[in-house]
Structure 1
Amino acid sequence: MKTRVAAVLLAPMILLLACGSPPTAGEPEGQGSEAAAGEATAEAVLAEVEGLDADARRERLIELAVEEGATVTLYSSLNAPILDVVAEVFEEETGVAIDQYRASSEAVRDRILQEAQAGFRGADVIETNGPEMQILDDEGALQPFTSPVQDDLAENSVAGNWTATRYNIFVVAWNTDLVAEGEQPQTYEDLADPQWEGQLAMEIADVEWYRAVWQYLVSDQGMSEEEADALFEKIASNATFLSGHTTFRQLLAAGEYSLVASDYSYGIDAAADEGAPVAW
Structure 2
Amino acid sequence: MDQGAAAVLAALIAVAGVALGLFGARWQARGMQEQANAAIEAVRAQGRDQNAQWRRTVRRDVWVEYLGAVDEFRISAGVVAEHLADEDLPEADLALEETRSRSVGATDAYRKIELEGPEQIVSKGYALQGSIINTIFELEQALTAARSMRALQEAAEREQREVPSDRDRPIAAILSSLRELQAMDSHDPGRTEYGQQLGLQITASGLLSASDAGALLFTYSQQLSLSEALERLPHGRWLRFHEVRTDFVQAARSHLDGSP
Q: Do the two structures share a fold, i.e. TM-score over 0.5?
A: no
- Specify the structure having the higher radius of gyration (Cα): 2
Instruction: Tell me the TM-score normalised to structure 1 length.
Output: 0.23
Instruction: Tell me the TM-score normalised to structure 2 length.
Output: 0.24
Whichever structure has more helix as a proportion of its residues is: 2
Whichever structure has more strand as a proportion of its residues is: 1
